[in-house]
Copies of this chain bind each other. A is one copy, B any other.
């Protein structure tokens, strides 16, 4: 067996992740929103690292970084994203990019591997400007008109202006070459506590759950909060509160073991202390990897709304505003991750769906795709205190690199 001239190095993985943490540091995390100065800096940082892995780096016209290999044999695509949520954690995104970089460093320099890992950092997975714009552009699902219309939800800067400011405006957008890759592999922190609470090291992602989102609107009668007797009120805010409680009381008996539901925003209209709200609105979300389960819960939601409307005094309207299809992860890839976990991580792995969205769900539309998770301390994410034990980061990297090897050599 020929010698690997660039063997796996866990400390190099940690050093690279810390180098990225130094670009846009916020407390122990980072503030690196899409096309901010630190984000653009991080794209160039990665592009400069890619030659170490025998890759030719390109930053394309939507801010994706792609490292391509001239090595013969199979190509496996691997990566994640470099931008962060606002004032968020250091690992959400970078972990998967650096794992891919390490896999490329190790395997592309190994003459026994007839193939190469190619590295991608997809732009704007965190959705500052849109919805998976980078990976969707790569699979051919983003039009120029969509980019024309995109604006930063924070600053309102247009995406076109942001691309000009980053010096990327005149570059072409790279698209996937048909049949170039045998598939896509992405690593990510779990962002939940399933691994930690089970003392597990690797999550083998079975699917990325679909998100169904609803606008639920309550209509009552706006009136004076001092002069309107309780008996004749039609308080839309109170109807909303009762509806939230009814959902929470009835969903557990109907849902699956991993179903989650969330009311993330409530608005009372007009929202003044001395006015009974005549209208109220909630944004409600359900996630599950089984569309039949979602359909059952949606039916129940609409029945609850019809019952409340029938009983009065307020009307309820349920409007679905986002319909997500779950993305299934490739079975052979899952088997490979699990087998490597047995060899490298003492079998401390579990198959689990991903409750969060990831670029892998976009890549899965054009090639076999899979993901692995590493533990999140306390299950915390989208917060600067997000973290993973160094030892768990290294174990995850090792599983990732060996899985890539298996996929390229099997």
Contacts and interface: CB of A to CB of B under 8 A. Distances in A.
A225 B273 contact: no
A263 interface: yes
Interface stretch (A1-9, A60-68, A132-140, A187-195): A187-195
A141 interface: no
A131 to B, nearest CB: 12
A381 B223 CA distance: 7
A222 interface: yes
Copies of this chain, count = 2
Interface of A, helix, strand, loop or mixed by DSSP: mixed
A354 B209 CA distance: 55
Contacts of A366: none
Contact of A244 (B223, B237, B356, B381): B237
Contacts of A381: 223-224, 227
Contact of A191 (B224, B237, B265, B268): B224
Contact of A266 (B227, B268, B276, B356): B268
B244 A238 contact: yes
Contact of A230 (B209, B260, B283): B260
Interface residues of A, number: 58
B265 A271 contact: yes
A344 interface: no
Nearest to A192: B227
A225 B194 contact: no
A354 B226 CA distance: 8
B227 A383 contact: no
A225 B276 contact: no
Contacts of A264: 225, 237, 268, 271-277
A285 interface: yes
A380 interface: yes
Contacts of A285: 225, 273-274
Interface string A272-315: 11111100000101010000000000000000000000000000
A223 B260 CA distance: 12
Contacts of A272: 264-265
Nearest to A237: B263
A226 B355 contact: yes
Interface centre among A193, A274, A381 (most CB of B within 10 A): A274
Given A245-B241, A248-B238, A224 B271 contact: no
B241 A354 contact: no
Given A235-B262, A237-B244, A287 B225 contact: yes
17 contacts: A193-B229, A211-B226, A223-B379, A223-B380, A224-B355, A225-B260, A229-B260, A230-B259, A238-B244, A241-B244, A242-B248, A262-B274, A264-B271, A265-B268, A266-B267, A266-B268, A273-B283
Interface of A: 190-194, 209, 211, 213, 222-230, 232, 235, 237-238, 240-242, 244-245, 248, 252, 258-268, 271-277, 283, 285, 287, 354-357, 379-383
Given A211-B226, A229-B260, A238-B244, 17 more contacts: A192-B227, A193-B228, A209-B226, A211-B274, A222-B382, A222-B383, A225-B262, A226-B355, A237-B264, A238-B248, A241-B244, A241-B245, A245-B245, A264-B273, A265-B268, A265-B273, A273-B285
